[in-house]
Amino acid sequence: MHQTSSRLLRMTDDERPFTRDFKDLFSTLIVSLLPLSAHRVRLTRVEHTFLSEDAINNLGSLKFSQSNRMPDPKDPSRIVTTTTTTTFSMAKDMARNICQRFLDARFIESADGKKQSTYTMKGSVWQLTSKGVCILDRFCSRNGIQQRQIGDLIATGVSNLVILERETALDKLVMDRGTMEVVFRRFIGTSGMNIKNNVNAADNESLSDYKDGLTGVKMASERKVAGKTYKDTFTGRACSDWLMDCCTTVARVESYEMAAAFVEYELMEAIQQDRVYMASSPSAAHFQPTKNAIYQMTAKGREIINGGGTRGRTSESEGVQPARGGIARDSNTQRLDKILTDAALRLLFRENLRETHCEENLSFYLDVDEFVRGCRHAIRSAQKNPNATSMDGIKEIMAQAYGIYNAFLAPGSPCELNIDHQLRNNLATRMTKAVGQDVAMIDTLHEVTALFEDAQNAVFKLMASDSVPKFLRNAKYEQTLKNYDFDAIAAAPGPPGAPGAPGAPRMPERSQSRSNRK
């Protein structure tokens, strides 16, 4: 049985692709037929590089397939293969526009070591940034890709990016106070990993200053401004560069918004404004991303870095929903409830899970939450108005279900979860059945959703019993976590259960197919 769904690449209100689609498109380009080889650049041989025209030509028709082979639950002597295929297609002018966005997002850079702001059509040689390699590495890990050229590229170095969360509906960055304080600690360099130099060195632009993702923003040890000497200052440009290179931001405007949030939350302040920039952009009163705008930490910022702050603050961001029935309450489940409903804690918890090699648990938990919300919306739309468009939505949700299953739940999947054997068999039985007619797909989705939620509950229990205690004991997060009274959280009564889960040119068509075959 073969099912196909198609849609245009999702676009935000400011006419850019949704971040998840955008990162998948970039990674698909790199793992496709794009040749990454050595090219001569100013008499130097640079490895793992590509030409402008090769990327544009390859973007014209991309295809990425992922297959899972498993025994048929009803007949173990037979092998069933589930294949997921994603294709992208676009015209050359759109392909160039997308490559420009890859450059703007700091996924790629000129191989000549110089900052390049425009993606030229012919002759230019490009390489992945450490940020781009990190995006690619996460994509390959999720999809089980083990190409030799990709492995060689990843071996050159992967950045420790701050994995920022986004609102599901609008793709806007989550920038509540707690999250911005977490990012600010990394921004300043809490482990003494700052680049502190004289003024000229601190203001020098370099492509490699933040390639590890751990080094704090470039600072001038001393700087004279209006006849007064200030210590540990940094420019607006350095601030914006750090937020672009060390976070999962995809546009400069996002780095400006985050820096403005630092100012709004009184973590940093301007000691010299750029009058020229202010005159041209009067709305940018909070932050100017130029060399002439000079900033320093505020007293509140220093308090945050040294472990102070408001105790028990709550997140203002979209997150997981209140608890649902099915899991007994204990202190660690209540602590996990708090972590999953607070954006700042989720960011740190994900980082800790990544370090302990079990990030897939949280990724699956949140992916299922997003899937369930989308599934319910698609089913309501199809039942209310059963036309071709609404049924396309059902097919797209089914494609999303297979994507989650192939990544996390299928036997031998790249991010295989530790779940009950019987539950895994039930999932395999359901996912390897032929889907049938469109109406039957709705019934299938109801069954798949119930099984996914069972797996989600199992993962919740595992995180609560194993990952939460390790997270709370990690000295790396001690200063941040002491702002949250977890003992009081554990003692507080709550509902039973585990959380549910947290005009431009036309964009290219993206199609996804799922098939089951012998």
Q: Name the maximum alpha-carbon separation found in the chain.
A: 82
| Same domain, yes or no: 355 and 480 | yes
| Same domain, yes or no: 190 and 144 | no
| Same domain, yes or no: 224 and 336 | no
**Residue 16 maps to which CATH number?**
1.10.10.10
User: pTM of this prediction?
Assistant: 0.83
pLDDT in tens, 118-148: 998 678 999 999 999 999 999 988 888 888 8
| Same domain, yes or no: 341 and 247 | no
pLDDT in tens, 22-44: 999 999 899 886 788 899 988 89
| Same domain, yes or no: 40 and 109 | yes
Task: Look at residue 222 and give its three-state secondary structure.
Answer: strand
CA 121 to chain centre: 29
| Distances from the Cα of 14 to the Cα of 24, 172, 254, angstroms | 20, 10, 12
- Total domains, the chain: 3
pLDDT in tens, 394-436: 888 888 898 899 889 988 888 999 999 899 889 888 887 755 5
Task: Look at residue 437 and give its three-state secondary structure.
Answer: coil
Identity of the amino acid at 320: V
pLDDT at residue 260 above 80?
A: yes
**Is 270 a member of any domain?**
yes
| Same domain, yes or no: 346 and 429 | yes
- What's the pLDDT band for 207 if we cut at 50, 70, 90? low
Pairing verdict, β 125-128 and 44-51: antiparallel
pLDDT in tens, 263-290: 999 999 999 998 888 777 766 668 999 9
Residue 469: give the domain boundaries.
323-499
Of 426 and 508, more confident: 426
Percentage of residues of the chain with pLDDT beyond 70: 77
**Is 170 a member of any domain?**
no
**What pLDDT is stored for residue 109 in this prediction?**
94
| Same domain, yes or no: 288 and 434 | no
| Same domain, yes or no: 423 and 289 | no
| Same domain, yes or no: 185 and 131 | no
Of 230 and 70, more confident: 230
| Same domain, yes or no: 351 and 406 | yes
| Same domain, yes or no: 13 and 81 | yes
Rounded Cα gap, residues 265 and 249, in angstroms: 20
Which positions ≥6 away from 127 have C-beta within 8 Å? Answer: 46, 48, 49, 50, 108, 109, 110, 111
**What pLDDT is stored for residue 512 in this prediction?**
40
- What's the pLDDT band for 312 if we cut at 50, 70, 90? very low
Question: Region 332-360: what's the mean pLDDT?
Answer: 93
